[in-house]
Amino acid sequence: KVLASSTPISRSPSPVFDVDHDGLRRRGHDEDHPTRTASISSQSSVEPDTTGMSYLDALTREQVSLDIDKYPGVDLVTQHEIAAKYKRLHQTIMDEGLYECS
């Protein structure tokens, strides 16, 4: 639908989106065709799209939310302690030759 404006449009209508009208009219000034207002429903009143990727996206968001609730973020000191433990474990595995597979 072509949006009405107070100045003429210099381009031709798009074959996909625009409808070619004989002339432009200003909104609210054509008594033969009163202006209609559109009503947009909120997304919550519409059934969610539970097919295909949208279903998987919703499931993933739910799982991530559950993980965040179950395993909250750790402070910086705890993060450094965890990293130090993994470095010690790595060194122990190397010292005992457990990385050498034969």
The whole-angstrom separation of Cα 85 and Cα 1 is 65
pLDDT digits 0-9 by tens, 43-57: 555 455 557 889 999
CA atoms lying within 13 Å on the CB side of residue 1: 4
Residue 41 corresponds to which tokens in the numbers above? 């429903």
Radius of gyration of the chain (CA): 31
The whole-angstrom separation of Cα 26 and Cα 4 is 6
pLDDT digits 0-9 by tens, 20-76: 555 555 555 555 555 555 555 555 554 555 578 899 999 999 999 999 888 878 899
Own/partner pairs, 55-63, CB within 8 angstroms, 24+ separation? none
User: Domain extents for the chain?
Assistant: 74-101
φ/ψ region of 100 (left if φ > 0, alpha if ψ in -120 to 50, else beta) reads: beta
